[in-house]
Structure 1
Amino acid sequence: MSETVRGAVETDCFRLSYIVEGEGRPAIVVGSSLYYARCFSQTLRRHLRIAFMDHRGFAPGSRSTDVAQFGMEKLTADIEQVRQQLGFDRVVIIGHSGHGFMALDYARRYPEHVSHLVMLCMGADYTPAGHAAAERYLADSVCPERKAALAEAMARLPAMIEAAPEKAFVSFCLATAAKSWFDYTFDAAPLWEGIETNMAMFDHVWGKVIPDMDLAALAPDIRAPAFLGLGRYDFLVPPAHTWEPVRDRFRDLTVRVFERSSHAPMLEEPEAFDRELLDWIGSR
Structure 2
Amino acid sequence: MEKFNAHKGQIQRDGYTLGYRIEGDGAPLLIIGSHVFYPRTFSANLRTKRKLIFVDHRGFSPVNRAIHTRDCALVTIMDDLSALCQTLGLAQTDILGHSGHGYMALEFARRCPERVRKTVLVGTGPNQSPETMAHGERIWAMLAAPDRKKRLEQDLEWMTRQIEAEPEKRFIWMCLGMGARSWFDPHFDARDLWQDVHVNMPIFDHLWGETFRDYDTHKALSEMKRPLLICMGRHDHLVAPVETWFPYLPEKNQPVFALFEHSAHTPQLEEADLFDDRLLTFLS
TM-score range, shorter chain: over 0.9
Kindly tell me: are residues 103 and 65 of structure 1, through their superposed partners in 2, closer, same or farther at Cα, counting changes over 3 Å? same
Distance in 2 (alpha carbons) for counterparts of 1:74 and 1:39: 26
Equivalences for 1:9-158 in 2 at 5 Å?
9-61=11-63, 64-158=66-160
Q: Is the 8 A contact 1:219 1:249 kept in 2?
A: no
Task: Sort the Cα spacing of 1:2 and 1:163 in 2 relative to 1 into closer, same or farther, 3 A.
Answer: closer
The 5 A counterparts of 1:96-245 are 96-245=98-247
Kept in 2, the 8 Å contact 1:64–1:198? The answer is no
CA deviation vs aligned residue, 1:221-265 (integer Å, no higher than 9, x gap)? 111100000000000001111101112356241001001000000
In the aligned structure 2, how far is the partner of 1:142 from the partner of 1:123?
18
Q: Which amino acid aligns with 2:229?
A: F
Shift of 1:157: 2.1
What amino acid maps onto 2:93 in structure 1? V
Let me know the Cα RMSD of the aligned residues: 1.5
**Which residue in 2 is equivalent to 1:267?**
269
Looking at structure 2, the residues matched to 179 and 17 of structure 1 have their Cα atoms a distance apart, in angstroms, of 29
Q: Is the Cα contact below 8 Å between 1:93 and 1:103 reproduced in 2?
A: yes
| Cα distance in 1 for residues equivalent to 2:271 and 2:18 | 29
SS of the counterpart of 1:227? Answer: strand
Counterpart of 1:276 in structure 2 is 278
User: Cα offset for 1:135?
Assistant: 1.1
How far did residue 60 of structure 1 move? 2.4
Distance across 2 between alignment mates of 1:252 and 1:124: 14
Pairwise CA distance, 1:176: 0.4
TM-score by length of 2: 0.96
* Residue equivalent to 2:257: 255
Partners of 1:16 and 1:3 in 2: CA distance: 20
- Tell me the TM-score normalised to structure 1 length: 0.96
Identity over the aligned pairs, expressed in percent?
A: 37
For the 8 Å contact 1:232–1:262, the answer to whether it is kept is: yes
**Would the aligned equivalents of 1:76 and 1:102 in 2 still touch at CA under 8 Å?**
yes
The answer as to whether partners of 1:6 and 1:20 remain within 8 angstroms in 2 is yes
Kept after mapping to 2: 8 A contact 1:157/1:175: yes
Secondary structure of the structure 2 residue equivalent to 1:33: coil
Residue correspondences, number: 282
Structure 1: unaligned runs, 5 residues or longer: none
Q: SS of the counterpart of 2:189?
A: coil
| Structure-2 separation of matches of 1:216 and 1:249 | 11
Deviates further, 135-144 or 187-196: 135-144
The verdict on how the C-alpha distance between 1:264 and 1:2 changes in structure 2, with shifts beyond 3 A counting, is: closer
Structure 2, gaps ≥5 residues long: none
Cα pair 1:122 1:230 within 8 Å, conserved? yes
CA distance in 2, matches of 1:221, 1:47: 30
User: Is the 2:127–2:212 Cα contact (8 Å) retained in structure 1?
Assistant: no
What's the offset of the Cα at 1:83? 1.0
Q: Cα deviation per residue 1:128-171 (whole Å; 9 max; x = unaligned)?
A: 11221121111111400000000111122221101001110000
How far has the Cα of 1:63 moved from its partner?
Answer: 6.2
Residues 165, 140 of structure 1: alpha-carbon distance in 2 compared, 3 angstrom cutoff = same
Amino acid at match of 1:227: L
